[in-house]
Structure 1
Amino acid sequence: MTDSILLVLGGLVLLGLGGELLVRGAVGMAARLGISPLLAGLTIVGFGTSTPELATSVQAALAGSPGIAIGNVVGSNIANILFILGLSAVILPLSVNPASFTRDSIALGGSALLCTGAVLYGFMGPAIGITLLAALVGYVWWAYKAESAVPCPEGDRHVHEAEDRPPPPNTGPVVLAGMIIAGLALAIVGAGWLVDGATVLASAAGVSETVIGLTVVAVGTSLPELIACIVAVVRKHEDVALGNIVGSNIYNILGILGITSVISPIAVPAEIAAVDIWVMLGVTALLLVQLRSGWKLSRLEGAVLVALYIGYTILLATR
């Protein structure tokens, strides 16, 4: 039992370090190659911060643990909205940029609906994976064209996301490539530890792997988003905090589930189809309604989200 806990904790540390190394190395390499900060923020930072979820879900699928593979994504999206975004709003009310709300609300709501359809289908194979990845490519293209055509606050946010993760000064391409490779290696090893430890913990605690995936694994792989959001609100960059969560949820579904389904087809656990996917869809709809009302997520609304997450966690503990 103790060894499993250490595996989980060690896996989370390696995932966090690996994701950070990968993002900083990739952003630095993008600058060397002349890739615009806007495109780097949209793609490299978006994918890089989702590295923990990607590595964990792929490893879990390959290990024959669909509850962890899918529960990680569904649970992360629930935790991102209810816990991380709710806590951020309690610290600092989050303003909404109406100009980008239409695009991002369509992408967030659409990805949640696609995920719901895939879960209810009961099996995620290459066809579903390719569909999700195609939708992600379409979203990135849409966002890039919209944000590069005219001065756009959302474009500035993505530029700042890339600029906030600079590599060490005077870093050459060899070192940057080493950072990318090391980041990937740490993420892969960390994901293996996390999946192995979580599987044993589930057995020892007498709960399903799905519950562990929805809780311990999901919250653990969302730690980079939690840290980024808390730092953003402390610096009074509420647009960055909100954008981090919306972007993470879109990438989790379209990118993480898409890649995982292509690499290793997975059967959907019945408990996720019966309960948790509807929770994810419901909290996504709730967030969109809250953001549309007054173009702000208030402290009271944030407290409601956190309270809902506590209730959801209690519900999981009783399953």
Structure 2
Amino acid sequence: MLLILALMFMALAAMVIGAELLVLGASRLAAMVGVSPLVIGLTIVSFGTSAPEFVVSIKGALTNHSDLVVGNCIGSNIFNVLFILGACAVVAPLVVTKQLIRLDVPIMIGSNLIFLWLSIDGIIDRYEGLLLLTGFTLYNWFIIRKSLQENSSKSGMSESPSCNVKSSSTLAIIKQLGLITIGLIFCISGAELMVDNAVTLARILGVSELIIGLTIVSIGTSLPEVATSIVATIRGQRDIAIGNVVGSCIFNILGVIGLAGLIAPAGITVAPSVLRFDLPVAIAASIACLPIFFTDYKISKWEGFLFLFYYVAYITYLILDAKQHEVLPMVGIAMLFTIPLTILTLLVIVYRSIRSN
């Protein structure tokens, strides 16, 4: 027991160290190549921290474990938005850029809606996987190109936006890429060590495999995002923190599920329960970002606590539903009252914000 706890502490330390290196390297690289920290968060950082989801899902696709692929990606997206954004906002209010509201969050919502539309028939085939993957490629090309053009215009340069890259020494850029790589290795290794030992500890304590799967494993693949976003928030790199979350959500749907659908021998099967409950929750969580981001362009602490509350409620409902607990109907009734009140509160806040502006 003590050995397991010691290993879990080491895993946590590895993720914190890795997150520090990752954020440091990413923020410096952004300054060197003329790309905004937000775009670095949306691309390099989010790809790296989503590596566990990517590996798990690709393995699942090749071995025909479709539930693992879809559950991992959808569950991680719900965790990213509700838990990670919520936790970061509790640590410090997150300032939101206009690009997120006008472009990235709508694309996050749109990717979920496209996935819902494609999976209505219960399967993502190779052509649909290719469509998602194409959308992912075009999105990343567009935001990187847009960031380089904006940086060029701000700097008053009429030539190619690659001038910033040339002005920075190749050695310095390689050094920052090295920091990012080492940080990712620490984050991913720490996450794997944490998940393995947490599962072992849960079994020793007599916790069922169901609860382990619903909580530890799904959350475990998102631990690099947690560490990176919280450390970025503490260090004042809040664009990287938010970009990491939004970018990871887009990557999971368009990139991971897209590639999984493309390489899976029989396509990716989407369970009816995902279409009825989990995917609508992911869509609702994404849509909830818009009114919250829109009010004063920030996520306040109370809104962070609200996101955390809904994530705990979601996990609680999943566990009670799986065990068919007698408390389940009461929880369902409570959520039926809570959700409309929350929507009404957000609408009032948005209305007041519009009037004040």
If the length of structure 2 is used for normalisation, what is the TM-score?
Answer: 0.64
Match of 1:162 in 2: none
Note if contact 2:90-2:300 (Cα within 8 Å) is conserved in structure 1.
yes
Pairing of 1:154-165 with structure 2 (within 5 A): none
Query: Would the aligned equivalents of 1:90 and 1:298 in 2 still touch at CA under 8 Å?
Result: yes
> How far 1:99 moved relative to its partner?
4.3
Corresponding residue to 1:298 among 297, 300, 303:
300
Quote the Cα distance in structure 1 between the aligned partners of 2:228 and 2:146.
25
Identify the residue that residue 155 of structure 1 maps to in structure 2: none
| 3-state SS, counterpart of residue 120 of structure 1 | coil
1: CA distance, partners of 2:219 / 2:254: 19
> C-alpha distance in 2, partners of 1:245/1:110?
16
CA distance in 2, matches of 1:234, 1:240: 11
1:118 maps onto 2:118 in alignment: yes
Q: CA deviation at 1:255?
A: 0.7
CA 1:100/1:302 → structure 2, altered by over 3 Å: closer, same or farther? closer
Supply the AA of the counterpart residue of 1:237: Q
RMSD: 4.1
| Structure 2 partner of 1:128 | 128
User: Does the 8 A contact of 1:54 with 1:260 survive in 2?
Assistant: no
Corresponding residue number in structure 1 for 2:82:
82
Could you tell me which amino acid in structure 2 is paired with residue 38 of structure 1?
V
The answer for the alignment partner of 2:253 in structure 1 is 253
1:150 Cα deviation from its structure 2 partner = 1.8
Residues 316, 257 of structure 1: CA spacing in aligned structure 2 closer, same or farther, 3 A cutoff?
same
Partner in structure 2 of residue 274 of structure 1: 276
Per the TM alignment, residue 239 of structure 1 is displaced from its structure 2 partner at its CA by: 2.1
Structure 2: give runs of 5+ residues left out of the alignment: 153-170, 323-357
- Quote the offset at 1:65 in angstroms: 2.4
The aligned amino acid for 2:90 is V
Given that residues 49 and 225 in structure 2 are in contact (C-alpha distance below 8 angstroms), is that contact kept between their aligned partners in structure 1? yes
Deviation string 1:174-203 (CA, Å, 9 cap, x unpaired) is xx7xx79x96xx88xx69x97xx79xx8xx
**Counterpart-to-counterpart distance in 1, 2:275 and 2:216:** 19
**Aligned residue among 286, 289, 303 for 2:288:** 286
Deviation at 1:217, TM superposition (A): 2.5
Please give the secondary structure, in 2, of the residue aligned with 1:151: helix
| Aligned-partner Cα distance in 2 for 1:148–1:81 | 27
What are the residue-to-residue correspondences of 1:45-64 with 2, within 5 Å? 45-64=45-64
- Distance (whole Å) between structure 1 residues aligned to residue 289 and residue 144 of structure 2: 24
1:214: how far off?
A: 5.1
Deviation, structure 1 residue 100: 4.6
CA deviation string 1:15-36 (max 9, x = no partner): 979x98xx89x99xx99xxx94
TM-superposition CA deviations, 1:198-222 (whole Å, max 9, x none): 9xx8xx97666xx765533321111
Tell me if the contact between 1:81 and 1:245 (Cα under 8 Å) persists in the aligned partners: yes
Q: Structure 1: how far apart are the matches of 2:126 and 2:294?
A: 35
Regions of 4+ moved over 3 Å: 35-46, 168-172, 204-208, 211-215
Rounded Cα–Cα distance in structure 1 between residues aligned with 2:261 and 2:214 = 18
Q: Secondary structure at the match of 1:313?
A: helix
Find the aligned partners of 1:236 and 1:52 in 2 and give their Cα distance.
26
Q: Rate the CA distance shift 1:53–1:120 in 2: closer, same or farther, 3 A.
A: same
Unpaired stretches in structure 1, ≥5 consecutive residues: 153-167
Q: Decide whether aligned partners of structure 1 residues 272 and 239 sit closer, same or farther in structure 2, where only a CA change above 3 A counts.
A: same
**Residues 80 and 171 from structure 1, CA distance in 2 versus in 1: closer, same or farther, beyond 3 angstroms?**
closer
- Choose from 28, 35, 38 the match for 1:38: 35
Aligned in 2, Cα 1:316/1:38: closer, same or farther, shift over 3 Å?
same
Which residue identity lines up with residue 63 of structure 2 in the other structure? A
Alignment check: 8 A CA contact 2:46 2:225 kept: no
Q: 1:92 touches 1:238 (CA, 8 Å); kept in 2?
A: no
Paired with 2:288 and 2:305, the residues of 1 have a C-alpha distance of 14
Which residue is 2:225 aligned to? 225
Counterpart of 1:156 in structure 2 is: none
**In structure 2, what is the Cα distance between the partners aligned to 1:246 and 1:141?**
16
Check conservation: 2:34, 2:151, Cα contact below 8 A.
no
* Counterpart position of 1:238: 238
Distance verdict in 2 for CA 1:232–1:134, change over 3 Å: same
**Residue 114 and residue 214 in structure 1: after superposition, are their counterparts in 2 closer, same or farther (change >3 A)?**
farther
**Letter paired with 1:278:** P
TM-score (norm: length of structure 1): 0.71
Whole-angstrom CA distance in 1 between matches of 2:285 and 2:215: 16
